[in-house]
A = this chain, B = another copy of it.
Amino acid sequence: MSRLCYINGEILPASKAAIGISDLALQRGYGVFDFARTNHRRLFHFDDHLQRLRLSASELHLKLPFPEEEITSIAEHLIQESDLDNPAIRLILTGGYSSAPVYQNPNFIIILEELSTYPAAIYAEGVELITVEYQRELPHVKSLNYLNSIRLAPLIREKEAFDILYHSESGITECPRSNFFVFQGNRLVTPSDFILSGITRKIVLEFASAHFPVEVRQIDPGELTAIDEAFVTSTSKGVLPVTAIDAQPVGSGRVGDRTMTIMRLFNEYTASYK
């Protein structure tokens, strides 16, 4: 199976696609991206991802090079051509070549890649997060800058944790690639600000309010000691239970009933998505 890629008008195997070394993404980390999944080989909430990509781009004074319908057509074409089992779409918009007028000629790359999957066991048992004090720059922008989270990979391994949970003076915020939710009793709470607005987060918030009281607000780190359940959401992980934070069990330390309800509702939503 090979990954396919669209780059500035051409479709080729991703392994053959390259970008000139003067691009501002390589020279200055200047660029944005988004990452969308498919569902039975059909695009899933792709409009939401494109809308977020456009927002990220505009914060960096960059423009998508063509209309969203055209990007959607290219993505659909790549999916048709691909032999991947479960294709996902990575969209990268860079600052363009440093020789060009700044912001004016971004490079646009669409990569079709196999969606990462996670072992079923971690959905049954939950995962552990470790808290790290850090505030992402421009948190509502999905910029290319993941330097901090990649740099901390050895810390995650050392602590035998699954991922990092960031906090800052704005409270608990998010994981590097996921949003964070807690249950306090029956109340579902998720941070409101200084986060990336996740598409899976948005879906969960939409259906959850029919089942639980929902609060979107700042979460103080001190509240973590008094939560009953927790989970993270992301495009690749879906809804993933969190059963420990900083080596302390969350609630009973097992996946709770309410989180299982959210997981079931999300799977039903995904299965019925057209």
Contact = CB atoms under 8 A, between A and B. Distances in A.
Interface in A2-17: 5, 7, 14-15, 17
A28 B102 contact: no
B28 A146 contact: yes
A95 interface: yes
A222 interface: no
Interface in A257-271: none
B147 A60 contact: yes
A214 interface: no
A154 B19 contact: no
Question: What's the number of copies of this chain in the assembled complex?
Answer: 2
Interface string A52-91: 0000000111000000000000000000000000000010
Nearest to A153: B102
A243 to B, nearest CB: 26
A148 B154 contact: no
Given A60-B151, A137-B147, A154-B61, A23 B26 contact: yes
A209 B42 CA distance: 68
A138 B19 CA distance: 27
Interface string A27-39: 1111101000000
